[in-house]
Each structure stands twice: as structure tokens, then as C-alpha cells.
Structure 1
């Protein structure tokens, strides 16, 4: 087992939540476990897809499966199923809360930039910075419940 790979216990919990590995027609898929281990390697190492080690398969194949499953909503369903299971076992502490930028409000004047003397609209860089300060967050992270072990 590699550094970022699923343990056998983790795989046993995850495997039933995945689509069938062998489709009814066409060519069989590469091993789901191998693909997910590749996805975990990317997520945990922070490396670009093209740097994925060969032991996980072609980076294009791993990336394609990741994005296809994301579009299908599979990752959200897996998260919900694992949270529900942990909750039934009493291993989730729902009293914990989190804060992200979607609920932290800035003061109404926080996005304004001072105009340079003699300029009508201020510098372009300042206007872009002001727009970025009030734009919606572009994060893909989802809230996670703390699972006690």
C-alpha cells in the first residue's frame, strides 16, 4: 500500500457506494480502487494531473473518471452515505460548526478603494481588487462533520 492509498477497511466501506466496475457492454473499466488511489495521490500531494505516478494508470484516465463522477454527483452521494453511516454509529459530533467566507460579511465600505488624486475612477488595479473582495467564493470544499474514531 502506497503513502496516500486507501486501507482495506476504507475500501470495504467505499466499494459498495461506487458504480459497477464492469459495465453491461463495452470494455471493462480500470480498477476503481486504483483510480481512487490516484485521485487521492493528486488531492493529498497537490501535484498536477500530469505528474501522477504510472502505478495509478494514465493521468488522463484518472482525471476523466474523477470529473465524470463529479458531474454525476457521485462524490456528494458518497459523502452523504458515509456521514449517515457514521451518524447511525454515533461517531459524528453535529454540535461542531464551521465558518467560511460565504457567511462572513465585510463592512459595506470594505470593498471601496481610495481614488488617486486627480483620477475620476481610481486606478484599474484598485477597481479589480475591490471587485475581487466582494465576489462570491470559488471554493469546491463542502462542510464536513467531525467523525470521532
Structure 2
């Protein structure tokens, strides 16, 4: 997880075969009160995550999986900021 500037704030490692949304509970607990939105890739598309964020008045900007029947809306323009997390991982790998 990174902040709005692309700086790492949390890291939770799971086994390679574990789905992304299984580790999300650890990352999404105790978020700062000023958190307004969370951006995530399709791997984090789950009703449980969306509901947990909605209960805390946090906007979930997560595109739906391609095979999902009811596709919740998401802000495509906001989702473009997700490159920050990709850049963070690229820096960590270097």
C-alpha cells in the first residue's frame, strides 16, 4: 500500500498462490482517518472489501472482474492514479 505520493506505507506478503483480496484485511485495518479513497486492481474486487470501505465512508475505486455479473461503477479517471503503486514496486525492485 502506498500513499497519494507513491510512498510505501504498508506491506503484507502472502504466498504467491494466495488471492490478493485475502491479504486485504491486514492492509485495510486501522487506516488513517483522512483516508477518502482506495484504489486497487481487479484482484481486490470483492463485495466484502467494498462493503468494509463503504462502512467507513471510503470510496473504493476498483474495476470489476471481467466475469462479474453485476459490475459496480468505478471512476476511471481516478483509477489512472494507480500507476503510483506500480512505480513504488518498480523502485523497491531496483
Which interval holds the TM-score relative to the shorter structure? Answer: 0.3 to 0.5
Scaled by the length of structure 1, the TM-score of the pair is 0.24
Considering Cα pairs closer than 8 Å and 6+ residues apart, tell me whether 1 or 2 has the greater RCO: 2
Larger Rg: 1
